[in-house]
Amino acid sequence: MKEHQLKFEREFLSEYAAKSSATRGRKKQETPCPVRTEFQRDRDRIIHSKAFRRLKHKTQVFLCPHGDHYRTRMTHTLEVSQIARTIARALRLNEDLAEAISLGHDLGHTPFGHSGEFVLNGLLEGGFKHNEQSLRVVDILEPLNLSEETRDGIINHRTEGRIPFTLEGQIARIADKIAYLNHDIDDAGRAGIITESDLPQEAVKLLGNGKSSRITFIIKDIIQNSADTVKLSPECDYAMNNVLKKWMFKNVYNHHLAKKEEAKSGKIIHDLFDYYIDNLSPPEKHSGETRERLVADYIAGMTDRFAISDYMEKFVPHSGRR
């Protein structure tokens, strides 16, 4: 029962761990669950949300790939979650909180990966960032009333933003990068863009050959160098962020095979945005929102295939249909 889990947190977890019994609470006070801790409750609410289910049909890097083994936004999320749990367990931090943040960090992502985010960012006054949209999903669009610890980890999972106030949030933040760098290498190899032998040797010599070896090395490095903050050694940080990540942007993320569909997907989002600006009737419960904000919410929530289908329905003639 829940009492045993709370006792485990008190007696086993590190002094630096977030304890569910000491949570900063929720925006709306609720009766505690008799079975689950507060962070377990957050995790379950995220998994059962509609936004989470839609992640399975949202692109990671390669738009409309041929084959069933490319990552989607959901498989990316699951890989982040498992890496985060592994690190949290080794550091005796709160696995449930690390998992909840990881599972919720990309709920606000657009269709067509970061290219979709880029287009919406240019169309919406004030800009569009997927981490902010993820928080908007759990706060407003599907009000899950999550704990402050989980909300903070979600909004601050991008390395450009503020550092999360929990170590579990810091873990999810770095697990996101570990996951995408390594699985994007795998997917780029599947697409024929690169091979493992193409990777920069400066990074390979330290991090190792192969996805599993690299992930294991980086996780071990974090465990060995973290205490009251979650961090990499200077050597590992340099190899991962200054060498491997920069190489990936140059040779994969900006490769013409990865980018060739972006103009098409950008047109889909741009045209749908313009269409719904003229045709969307705001629902009463969000009557205080601007039309642009509501349209951005709707489009950001689309899966890739729904966006394509919706575009075809609205802008492509249907010969022979009555």
Q: Is residue 119 part of a domain?
A: no
* Domain containing residue 152: 2-114+130-257
- pLDDT of 127: 97
Q: Which residues pair with 26 in a beta bridge?
A: 147
Q: Is residue 154 part of a domain?
A: yes
Using the predicted structure, report yes or no on whether residue 184 has a pLDDT greater than 60.
yes
Q: Is residue 273 part of a domain?
A: no
pLDDT tens across 65-84, in order? 777 899 999 999 999 999 99
Q: Which residue has the tokens 């606000």?
A: 108
Using the predicted structure, report yes or no on whether residue 277 has a pLDDT greater than 90.
yes
CA distances from 224 to 12, 62, 126, 186 (A): 19, 34, 41, 26
- pLDDT of 251: 95
Using the predicted structure, report yes or no on whether residue 125 has a pLDDT greater than 80.
yes
CA–CA–CA angle 318, 320, 322 (5° rounding): 85
pTM here is 0.95
Residue 270: CB atoms within 10 A of its CB come to 15
Which CATH number covers residue 6? 1.10.3210.10
Q: Is residue 230 part of a domain?
A: yes
Local confidence band at 260 (pLDDT 50, 70, 90 cut-offs): confident
3-class DSSP state of 106:
coil
Q: Is residue 15 part of a domain?
A: yes
Lowest mean pLDDT among 34-38, 247-251, 281-285: 281-285
Give the sign of the dihedral formed by CA 71, CA 77, CA 78, CA 79: positive
Q: Is residue 25 part of a domain?
A: yes
Q: Where does 119-248 show beta strands of DSSP type E?
A: none
Q: Do residues 282 and 244 lie in contact, with contact meaning Cβ atoms separated by under 8 Å?
A: no
- Percent over 70 (pLDDT), the chain: 97
Residue 54: CB atoms within 10 A of its CB come to 19
Using the predicted structure, report yes or no on whether residue 284 has a pLDDT greater than 80.
no
Q: Do residues 170 and 87 lie in contact, with contact meaning Cβ atoms separated by under 8 Å?
A: no
Q: Is residue 321 part of a domain?
A: no
Q: Is residue 297 part of a domain?
A: no
Rounded average pLDDT over 294-317: 96
Rounded average pLDDT over 26-38: 96
Number of domains in the chain: 1
